Structure 1
């Protein structure tokens, strides 16, 4: 897929670029990001370099993952038309199978608590439903990751349960929460008819 840029009232979401390497490396030093996500730990500069220069373009080119850098929009008149503010988060959509599309994200420590992550999740969800025809967007987080769960629930995900050994984290299988968002949850028209069990 051609790399895509999304915008919201406060944010620009665009594919990571080589110039993002320094900010990615700095953000990933946060112990919470290393604890709750699958980024390498310790997170070295080479990891950031490989991510922005190899992993991101490969994902877009092969339609396996669509990672976005989430940046503040520059204030009107500041820095010209292409100006961007700082990196505030990362979000990615991972296409596992036709039936399994998952969103994952982390927020830069200094920018948490401002609603940026929820805003980004909603923008990406609308994009996958309207542009990619995705039927169901899943979210998973290791049990205990209250921050990720709060974002998912604010974005409208319905937590559907707990998967035993549902996440592999640094060589260990761990329990995770799982939730899902459907187009109907955002008042969007689904790409396929949906017949819930309760409607049979």
Structure 2
């Protein structure tokens, strides 16, 4: 797929470029990003160069992962990163993200996730956008909830992070959650009777 840029009132979600490596490197020195995400730790400048110059462009080329630099429209500063990955089931995608420390608490990532979700459903033909984070990553969960994700539960050993299996929280967003139609009919199960 040809890389595209998405816009919101305050943000541009654009493909990463090699020129973003310095900002990515600086942001990923944050201990919280290294703790809660799967970026390498310690995070080197070579890691940033590989991510912006090779890994991200290849994801667009082979339609496996669509990484966006989340930047301010009025100044271009990098506020974070957001990726949409193809899932194992047709029409299923997964979102992942991090926010640079100095840009947290302003709603930027919630805004970016909502915009990327809309694009996933309308342009990629997605019927389900999944989110997961290591159990305890309350800021990521808060973004997902504010973006409209429905929490679906806990998954034991759901994430391999730096050689350690970890439990995860999981959630999903459907096109209907945003008032959109999906590509396939969806028939939800009846609510089970509770004992």
**TM-score over 0.5 (shorter chain):** yes
Is it true that 1:169 corresponds to 2:157 in the alignment?
no
- Cα distance in structure 1, aligned partners of 2:132 and 2:173: 12
- Cα distance in structure 1, aligned partners of 2:140 and 2:175: 21
Cα deviation per residue 1:39-81 (whole Å; 9 max; x = unaligned)? Answer: 000000000000011100100000010000000002xxxxxxx
Gaps of 5+ in 2: none
- Cα distance in structure 2, aligned partners of 1:140 and 1:112: 19
Q: 2:2 maps to which residue?
A: 2
Which one of 65, 86, 90 corresponds to residue 95 of structure 1? 86
Q: 1:47 maps to which residue?
A: 47
- Cα distance in structure 2, aligned partners of 1:171 and 1:105: 20
Gaps of 5+ in 1: 75-83
Q: 2:125 maps to which residue?
A: 133
Cα deviation per residue 1:131-156 (whole Å; 9 max; x = unaligned)? Answer: 01101000000000000000000000
Q: 2:26 maps to which residue?
A: 26
Q: RMSD between aligned alpha carbons?
A: 1.0
* Counterpart secondary structure, 1:113: coil
Cα deviation per residue 1:87-130 (whole Å; 9 max; x = unaligned)? Answer: 00100001132344100000010000000000000000000000
Q: 1:194 maps to which residue?
A: 186
The equivalences for 1:49-198 within 5 A come to: 49-74=49-74, 84-99=75-90, 100-198=92-190
TM-score by length of 2: 0.95
TM-score by length of 1: 0.93
* Counterpart secondary structure, 1:91: strand
- Cα distance in structure 1, aligned partners of 2:34 and 2:4: 27
- Cα distance in structure 2, aligned partners of 1:2 and 1:98: 23
